[in-house]
């Protein structure tokens, strides 16, 4: 049931509790007032006897105290007896208290001290926690002072003549007292309401708990039957352990341990663990017991026939009754086949890693072996071009050198990529001139830009420090790759290499390199696979512009090895910007 649905039930229950509490309070206060009324009447008689004995001409005071006092208290006592706790009874008692105060004031000749009985009576009436009772009492005492001031001023005020509005002064003090008593009554009723609401909530919770206890008891009884039925047909072993000894074992557990049920009952769960695993399992199991958490362990067991099996055991503490020993329920699963498969997979993984390492070494060695004769071919072709060749021979030789250069570039990329894959890439840390590295890169590629009739520019921020320490060769390799790609994919316009300083300190410089072109651009889909090995923007690009697709992958590996990230910003038809720090 939702909280919103519960609220009306709690509110109505709280109202009933509050009404019952008020009824009991009214009845209890009525009983107290019955005693108080009698004591006040006897007190009035005693006061009349004392006054008659000490003052001459006051014999009629005793008669007044006896008979007038009896007339005042008779109706309240009857009402308390006949209708205790009723609203009318409270108001009758309130009127009686004020009239009894008037009687005492009359008997004492209007003494000021006797008027405190009025305020005391109001305080007693506030025990009803009903401000309407104070209103009745205040009206009665105001009427008494008003009429007494007119007809019996000597008896009420102790004066022969009284101002007409004197009764308002006394009524004002009564109302002043009523104000604080009403505030107290309101606060008391609020507390009673809060207490009643809390009690209603507690009763509601108790009812729910009692209902849940009944349901849980039935569920436990049904669960015991279900547990035994399920454990008998369970594909995993199930056991109950108390005080370190097995008290229940299902059929599957007996199959896993290759033992009869009577051979397992009463024995501890440590006795059949493989000797090499026993110390570890004892330590982990005891730690779980101390921390009162579930136990989950994998270990080997030795069956009576000497077979070794891997098992996975999980155990949890069952709630124990007070004074009883804790009981653990657990499951045991035979994971021998899984462990064997894991070992086979681990062995296969190791073999695959070894094969990958051997393949990388092979690629590295083969690339080196291929590069050596290629350098000879390129060198000899260069010497041949310097000789006396006719135009056709010069064209053939130039084609051989161009093809050799392209093939050497591919072999170098494969060699670098295989070194990175094999984890054998080594970085230098030497002093170098950044401007010289940037200018040599631009000069190396200037001829390609000139042939395509595009502008190749270099921009270096004056804040960039030029004397640096690092690996200039790898930096030049990344810049050459990015600038070369920009020239390759820019049919017209410009390619700009810019270097700026992000932060410079006494021992470290954070520099930003950007290669911006006005070329064909790269779409969002192609950007996601741009840095993957052997990948280009699309298949038509590789056919039109050539290349292996290794350049950017190698550049990314080199930049990341230098503690940075390479990024790209591009839009189809509007150029591309590669950047790294």
pLDDT the model gives residue 1: 40
pLDDT averaged over the chain? Answer: 76
pLDDT the model gives residue 3: 42
Pairing of strands 295-302, 576-580: unpaired
For 32-65, give the DSSP string. Answer: HHHHHHHHHHHHHHHHHHHHHHHSTT-THHHHII
pLDDT the model gives residue 209: 84
Residue 51 has pLDDT above 60, yes or no: yes
Residue 6 has pLDDT above 50, yes or no: no
Query: Model-level pTM?
Result: 0.39
Average pLDDT (193-207) is: 77
Of the pLDDT bands very low, low, confident and very high (cuts 50, 70, 90), residue 500 is very high
Classify the phi-psi angles of 513: left when phi > 0, otherwise alpha if psi is within -120 to 50, otherwise beta: beta
pLDDT the model gives residue 483: 87
pLDDT the model gives residue 474: 83
Find out whether 92 and 80 touch, Cβ atoms under 8 Å: no
3-class secondary structure, 268: coil
pLDDT the model gives residue 371: 65
Average pLDDT (337-342) is: 87
d(Cα 544, Cα 58) in Å, to the nearest integer?
138
Higher pLDDT, 115 or 246: 246
What dihedral angle (degrees, nearest 10) is formed by the CA atoms of 80, 84, 87, 91?
20
pLDDT the model gives residue 498: 92
Residue given tokens 């030029």 in the structure block:
466
Tens-place pLDDT, residues 245-293: 787 888 887 888 888 877 778 776 666 888 888 888 777 776 776 666 7
Find out whether 295 and 330 touch, Cβ atoms under 8 Å: yes
Give the dihedral sign, CA 197/201/206/207. Answer: positive
Express as a percent the part of the chain with pLDDT over 70: 75
Tens-place pLDDT, residues 208-232: 888 888 887 777 677 667 767 777 6
d(Cα 569, Cα 575) in Å, to the nearest integer?
9
Average pLDDT (174-196) is: 76
Comparing CA positions, the residue from 90, 160, 161 lying closest to residue 128 is 90
Tens-place pLDDT, residues 57-84: 555 777 777 777 777 778 888 888 888 8
Express as a percent the part of the chain with pLDDT over 90: 3
Average pLDDT (147-152) is: 61
Residue 7 has pLDDT above 70, yes or no: no
Of the pLDDT bands very low, low, confident and very high (cuts 50, 70, 90), residue 162 is low
Residue 4 has pLDDT above 60, yes or no: no
Average pLDDT (399-417) is: 70
pLDDT the model gives residue 542: 47
Residue 352 has pLDDT above 70, yes or no: yes
pLDDT the model gives residue 59: 54
Average pLDDT (6-30) is: 70
d(Cα 125, Cα 129) in Å, to the nearest integer?
8
Tens-place pLDDT, residues 291-321: 667 778 888 888 888 888 888 888 877 776 5
Tens-place pLDDT, residues 416-443: 666 666 566 677 889 999 888 888 888 8
For 10-21, give the DSSP string. Answer: HHHHHHHHHHHH
d(Cα 280, Cα 268) in Å, to the nearest integer?
16
pLDDT the model gives residue 110: 60
Average pLDDT (501-509) is: 87
Tens-place pLDDT, residues 362-380: 766 666 677 677 777 777 7
pLDDT the model gives residue 165: 63
Residue 343 has pLDDT above 80, yes or no: yes
Residue 145 has pLDDT above 70, yes or no: no
């Amino acid at each position: 049931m939702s909280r919103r649905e519960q609220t009306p039930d709690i509110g109505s229950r709280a109202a009933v509790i509050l009404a019952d509490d008020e009824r009991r309070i009214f009845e209890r206060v009525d009983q107290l007032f019955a005693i108080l009324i009698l004591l006040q009447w006897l007190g009035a008689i005693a006061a009349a006897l004392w006054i008659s004995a000490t003052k001459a001409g006051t014999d009629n005071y005793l008669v007044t105290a006896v008979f007038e006092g009896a007339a005042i208290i008779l109706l309240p006592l009857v009402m308390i007896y006949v209708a205790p706790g009723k609203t009318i009874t409270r108001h009758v008692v309130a009127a009686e208290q004020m009239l009894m105060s008037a009687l005492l004031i009359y008997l004492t000749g209007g003494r000021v001290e006797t008027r405190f009985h009025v305020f005391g009576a109001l305080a007693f009436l506030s025990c009803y926690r009903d401000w309407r009772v104070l209103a009745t009492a205040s009206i009665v005492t105001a009427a008494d002072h008003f009429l007494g001031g007119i007809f019996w001023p000597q008896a009420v005020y102790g004066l022969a003549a009284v101002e007409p509005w004197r009764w308002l002064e006394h009524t004002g003090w009564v109302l002043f007292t009523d104000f604080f008593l009403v505030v107290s009554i309101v606060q008391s009723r609020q507390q009673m309401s809060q207490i009643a609401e809390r009690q209603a909530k507690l009763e509601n919770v108790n009812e729910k708990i009692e209902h849940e206890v009944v349901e849980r008891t039935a569920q436990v009884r049904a669960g015991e039957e279900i547990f035994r039925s399920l454990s008998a047909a369970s594909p995993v072993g199930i056991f109950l352990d108390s005080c370190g000894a097995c008290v229940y074992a299902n059929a599957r557990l007996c199959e896993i341990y290759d033992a009869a049920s009577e051979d397992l009952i009463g024995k501890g769960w440590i006795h059949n663990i493989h000797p090499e695993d026993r110390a570890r399992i004892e330590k982990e199991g005891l730690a779980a017991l101390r921390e009162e958490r579930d136990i989950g362990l994998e270990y080997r067991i030795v069956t009576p026939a000497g077979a070794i099996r891997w098992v996975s055991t999980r155990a949890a503490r069952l709630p124990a009754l007070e004074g009883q020993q804790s009981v653990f329920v657990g499951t045991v699963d035979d994971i021998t086949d899984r462990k064997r498969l894991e070992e086979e997979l681990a062995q296969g993984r190791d073999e695959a890693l070894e094969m990958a390492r051997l393949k990388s070494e092979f690629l590295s060695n083969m690339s080196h072996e291929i590069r050596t004769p290629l350098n000879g071919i390129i060198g000899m072709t260069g010497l041949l071009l310097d000789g006396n060749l006719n135009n056709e021979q010069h064209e053939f030789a130039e084609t051989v050198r161009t093809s050799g250069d392209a093939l050497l570039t591919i072999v170098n990329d494969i060699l670098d990529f295989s070194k990175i894959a094999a984890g054998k890439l080594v970085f230098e840390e030497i002093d170098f001139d950044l401007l010289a590295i940037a200018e040599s890169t631009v000069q190396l590629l200037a001829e390609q830009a000139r042939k395509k009739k595009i502008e190749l520019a270099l921009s270096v921020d004056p804040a960039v420090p030029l004397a640096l320490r690092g690996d200039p060769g790898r930096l030049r390799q990344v810049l050459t790759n990015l600038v070369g790609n920009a020239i390759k994919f820019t049919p017209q316009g410009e390619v700009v290499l810019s270097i700026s300083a992000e932060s410079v300190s006494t021992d470290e410089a954070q520099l930003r390199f950007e290669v911006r072109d006005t070329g064909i651009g790269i779409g969002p889909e192609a950007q996601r696979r741009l840095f993957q090995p052997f990948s280009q923007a699309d298949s038509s690009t590789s056919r039109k512009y050539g290349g292996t697709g290794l350049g950017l992958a190698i550049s990314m590996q080199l930049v990341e090895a230098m503690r940075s990230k390479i990024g790209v910003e591009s839009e189809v038809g509007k150029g591309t910007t590669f950047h790294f720090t």
